Each structure stands twice: as C-alpha cells, then as structure tokens.
Amino acid sequence: MAKKILIIDDDPNIVTYLTDFFGDNGYETCSATDGIEALDVVKKERPDLITLDLEMPEEWGPRFYRKLSQEKEFKNIPVIVISGLSGSKYAVQKAVASITKPFDRDELLNIVKESIG
C-alpha cells in the first residue's frame, strides 16, 4: 500500500503541483488549506508524512504543529516545512526538514524517501 502525504497549503497551485508530483512518485495524497482543516484531515486520513506551509489564513502552520504535537497518536508524523518565509527553519524546530519556496523537486523527493521510504 502506498504511503500517504498530507499537503497543507493555502495556495491551490502548490497543492495541485505537489499532488501530481507525489502521485507521479508513487505516493497517495490528501490536502488541507489551513491548520484547522488539517487537524480534521490528519484524524480522518492518518498520513505517513505532512508537508506544511507556515503562512495561511485562519491558522498558521506553527500553531497547527503545536496542536498536532499534543496528540499522542499523531505527534511522531514527520513534517516537512515548505514555506516562502525566511527563517522558516526556526518556526517548527522538530520538522525533519525546512525548504524554501521555490524548492528543488529532487531535494524534496529525497527528504520524503529518507523520512518514509
């Protein structure tokens, strides 16, 4: 069974791009447009990995991550921060990686493979 990646980003172009990119590389995907919706999606879909934008309407990525970390069964899901904000590597310190938009596809895929296979 394919590993599942939750894409959390408010930009529909990024979501579509990452959905196609991960799908082409053998991963299933699901998505959310902000941190509030994302918590519901995590509970429903149980992803193996999360890509997380930081700056979104309603609830920013760091706040979502804090809530996720408080959930015993979800706190060990690897998170890759993908953001256009500078200094994003400090926003979610336990993220497996922090990548700045625009990002390198090969770098992202390597991080995903190292994290979940």
pLDDT digits (tens, 9 = 90+) for 67-113: 999 999 999 999 999 988 765 555 677 889 999 888 999 999 999 99
**Superfamily covering domain 4-116:** Response regulator (3.40.50.2300)
CA–CA distances in Å: residue 77 to residues 9, 11, 64, 80? 17, 23, 13, 10
Residue 3, C-beta contacts closer than 8 angstroms, at least 6 positions apart = 27, 28, 48, 49, 116, 117
- When mean pLDDT is compared across 5-14, 26-35, 40-49, 57-66, the lowest value belongs to 57-66
pLDDT of 7 reads 98
- Residue 5: pLDDT band (50, 70, 90) is very high
pLDDT averaged over the chain?
Answer: 91
